[in-house]
Amino acid sequence: MRHAFLLSLALLATPALAEDAPLPKLGPNAVPITLDHAYLTEAPAPDFWAFFPFVKPQFTSSACGVASITAALTGLAGLPPNAEDTVMRQPELLEKVNDAHWSAISAEEGDGITFDELSLYAGKAAEAMGLKITIDSFHPGAPGAMPEAAALSELRARLAANESTADDVILVYFNQGVVTGDWDGPHVSLVGAYDAARDRVLVLEVDQEWYIPYWTPVPVLLAALTRPAPEDQGVLKGQTGGLVRLSR
């Protein structure tokens, strides 16, 4: 849901200084998988191997929800058995669900998906694909949510449980800029792994025009889940994030 671009000190710099000091691709809170993949060789990492092959670039600037749901459900379903069977594509899933609102908010320059709609359309998409799943969510930024310390403990517990099996997958709705140091707005991707020893989570990015998978510390992820979307995000203004878990 990239509707705005960099909001940074570069905007306050003189043109000469801005040219002399370009912003890094990722800020200090995101480490790309190309620089650190040790965990994936040390641990079973069942979610990474089950879902990473199905994570494709979001097909519009507003389709992170569609891309993430498609990757999650195709990963749960597994590779189709027959040669003539295609792997589900994002536009095909939208067509199967046949929901005008979901199609509209996911179109180029569409409004983007809300946190509650992420669960709603994951359920509709699973039904359209003939998959029986259960859905539960964790929304630490909701009004009246638990204190930060309790939310952090709950977040770690949910990530640890998810890491133990590929029978479930977590969609993460978060403020992307808190993690990447880039734009200030809501976004959806998949959790690829949780490295408990280093207290970090691997985000399988669908925003692949700009990023590849990266690690971020769990406290940073919590900050990204609880930061409200700013005024310039239209109908998503004030949205906070969380986890949506889909399980067989």
Q: What is the pLDDT along the chain (248 residues), one digit of tens a residue?
A: 654 444 443 433 444 444 667 888 999 999 999 999 999 999 999 999 999 999 999 999 999 999 999 999 999 999 999 999 999 999 999 999 999 999 999 999 999 999 999 999 999 999 999 999 999 999 998 888 889 999 999 999 999 999 999 999 999 999 999 999 988 999 999 999 999 999 999 999 999 999 999 999 999 999 999 999 999 999 999 999 999 999 99
The answer as to whether 50 is a domain residue is yes
Residues 139-147: contacts with CB within 8 Å, 24+ apart?
Answer: 139/115, 139/240, 139/241, 139/242, 140/222, 140/225, 140/226, 140/240, 140/242, 141/225, 141/226, 141/227, 141/228, 141/240, 141/241, 141/242, 142/240, 142/242, 145/226
pLDDT at 19: 60
pLDDT at 1: 61
pLDDT tens-digit map of 151-209: 999 999 999 999 999 999 999 999 999 999 988 999 999 999 999 999 999 999 999 99
Bridge partners for 247 per DSSP: 134, 168
The answer as to whether 2 is a domain residue is no
The answer as to whether 219 is a domain residue is yes
Burial of 43 (0-12, 13-18, 19+ CB in 10 A): middle
Bridge partners for 217 per DSSP: 200
CATH number of the domain where residue 14 is located: 3.90.70.30
The answer as to whether 3 is a domain residue is no
- Tell me the residue range of the domain where 79 lies: 9-247
pLDDT at 145: 85
Tokens, residue 188: 């959806």
| Number of domains within the chain | 1
Looking up tokens 């949510």 gives 145
The answer as to whether 159 is a domain residue is yes
Best CA proximity match to 201, nearest among 72, 85, 31: 31
The answer as to whether 200 is a domain residue is yes
The answer as to whether 194 is a domain residue is yes
CB 188 within 8 A of CB 176: no
pLDDT at 183: 85
The answer as to whether 41 is a domain residue is yes
Q: At what angle do helices 148-163 and 218-226 cross, to 10 degrees?
A: 120
